[in-house]
Structure 1
Amino acid sequence: MLSLTQDPLNEVIFNGKSYHLDLAFDTVLQYLQLSSDDDLSKEEKVEYAITLFLDEQDLPNDPEFYELIFKAVNEEITADPYGNNMPNSNPFGLAPIKYFDYVQDAEAIFASFMREYKINLLKQRGKMHWREFKALFDGLSENSYMQRIISIRQRDLSEVDDSKMRQQLTEAKSYYALDEPQKEEDKQEHVAQTSALSAMFKAMQGQVKKGG
């Protein structure tokens, strides 16, 4: 998670040598897309993830190195300062899948950062660290475009008594609906992307242990 006294993670030390980690927000977003791509095999995802985070560095041929990398990146991406002591809590780290999608909501996120922070995210690619992006994203006000969309998706129609307002909310939910509707059991359990991400890294760790 973001610290005000230490730099965010940008390198790992293995056998006395430093290796740069690219954890710019756009790199992490590319990884999130990669991890949910069902057309790629586990081995391909491992290879692409290594390329994303480590680029073209001279890397050691040691499974322990990649275990260290995946563990460090996983912790950096999914760490959240709140809710860790609540049983069955749904951390805000990457928000429930049903509430937003970094790809589909890219324009709303861009507009929200421009309006609230005067930050052009297109110009921050390769620069802004994931933890900075996440802190700013989580801090968007309820009046921001992105948070208004999330509020529409979260709001329960049964709580709206007025028929006209219910119809308006229904239309808004339809308009802002995510492309891939979640299964009902997923909605009830509030499955978070953090869980999927952690599972993905564990799978990667298992793969490198096998030398795959």
Structure 2
Amino acid sequence: MSFNFLLDEYPNEVIVEEVVYKVNTDFKCILSIIQLLDNDLFCEQEKIINSIRIFYGNNIPRNTSLAFNELIGFIQLYQEEKTNSKKHNKVIDYTIDSGLILSAFMQVYKINLIETNLHWFAFSCLLENISDEQIRLIQIMNIRSMEIDENYSAKQKQRIRKLKKEYSLEKQEDISNDFANSFFLGVKGGQNK
């Protein structure tokens, strides 16, 4: 059963092994968890433990595996993952696009995300439903998801490829990883194993 954004009360707790746990539902908390889970500088176990600490605070369930599953379900708004044979490109990165997201919320909703506490479910709903084509975030997301039709002229294809390359998230992630790797190599005294 899917969540009704108008009628259902936004959850502020989860149940793990029949025990109710209060959780941090603010979008900034969830974004920090997502950022942590995407960070290659941590091993999987560190990501899980630290994200659980952020989400549950001082009251961490004993069964960390179930606790983490509840956390992921919460982030996904308890919606089933829609399987589709077509590969979906990532069109938004909460870190790289943070300025665009901030600006879009100001333009569309007059909400200053820096000064606002907003439930993750509300934030997700608002973000997903920004549709004004004049908003820079939407323009860039559209470019990232754009398919190059074989019926386009060579000039159109070249323009789209150029825009997709300019706003590609892959290059941003590679730059971040290269910087992190060179930083840690420098910290280790340039030792390469």
TM norm structure 1:
0.66
| Partner residue in 2 for 1:175 | 166
- Checking the alignment, whether the CA contact within 8 Å between 1:100 and 1:150 is kept in structure 2 is yes
Secondary structure of 1:158 counterpart = coil
| Partner residue in 1 for 2:181 | none
- Checking the alignment, whether the CA contact within 8 Å between 2:48 and 2:68 is kept in structure 1 is no
Structure 1, 130-139 or 165-174: larger mean CA deviation: 165-174
| Partner residue in 1 for 2:124 | 134
Partner AA of 2:108 in structure 1: E
Q: Percent identity?
A: 27
| Partner residue in 2 for 1:123 | 115
Correspondence for 2:33 among 13, 16, 31: 31
Secondary structure of 2:169 counterpart = coil
Q: Rate the CA distance shift 1:140–1:102 in 2: closer, same or farther, 3 A.
A: same
Q: Rate the CA distance shift 1:148–1:44 in 2: closer, same or farther, 3 A.
A: same
Correspondence for 2:149 among 158, 169, 182: 158
Number of residue pairs aligned between Structure 1 and Structure 2: 170
Q: Which has the higher contact order (CA 8 A, sep 6+)?
A: 1
For each residue in 1:155-198, what CA deviation from the matched residue of structure 2 results, as whole angstroms up to 9, or x when unmatched? Answer: 2333573555444433322322214489xxxxxxxxxxxxxxxx
Structure 1, 152-161 or 103-112: larger mean CA deviation: 152-161
Q: Rate the CA distance shift 1:100–1:16 in 2: closer, same or farther, 3 A.
A: closer
| Partner residue in 1 for 2:94 | 102
- Checking the alignment, whether the CA contact within 8 Å between 1:83 and 1:89 is kept in structure 2 is no
1:152 Cα deviation from its structure 2 partner: 1.1
- List alignment gaps of at least 5 residues for structure 1: 91-95, 183-212
1:74 Cα deviation from its structure 2 partner: 1.8
Aligned-pair RMSD on alpha carbons? 3.2
- Checking the alignment, whether the CA contact within 8 Å between 1:10 and 1:21 is kept in structure 2 is yes
1:3 Cα deviation from its structure 2 partner: 3.3
1:151 Cα deviation from its structure 2 partner: 1.0
- Checking the alignment, whether the CA contact within 8 Å between 1:149 and 1:176 is kept in structure 2 is yes
Residue pairs, 1:1-212, within 5 angstroms: 1=3, 3-12=5-14, 18-55=20-57, 57-59=58-60, 62-63=62-63, 66-79=64-77, 84=82, 88-89=83-84, 96=88, 98-124=90-116, 127-143=117-133, 144-158=135-149, 161-162=152-153, 164-180=155-171
CA distance in 2 between counterparts of 1:78 and 1:15 reads 20
Q: Rate the CA distance shift 1:100–1:67 in 2: closer, same or farther, 3 A.
A: same
Secondary structure of 1:104 counterpart = coil
TM norm structure 2:
0.71
- List alignment gaps of at least 5 residues for structure 2: 174-193
CA distance in 2 between counterparts of 1:24 and 1:12 reads 14
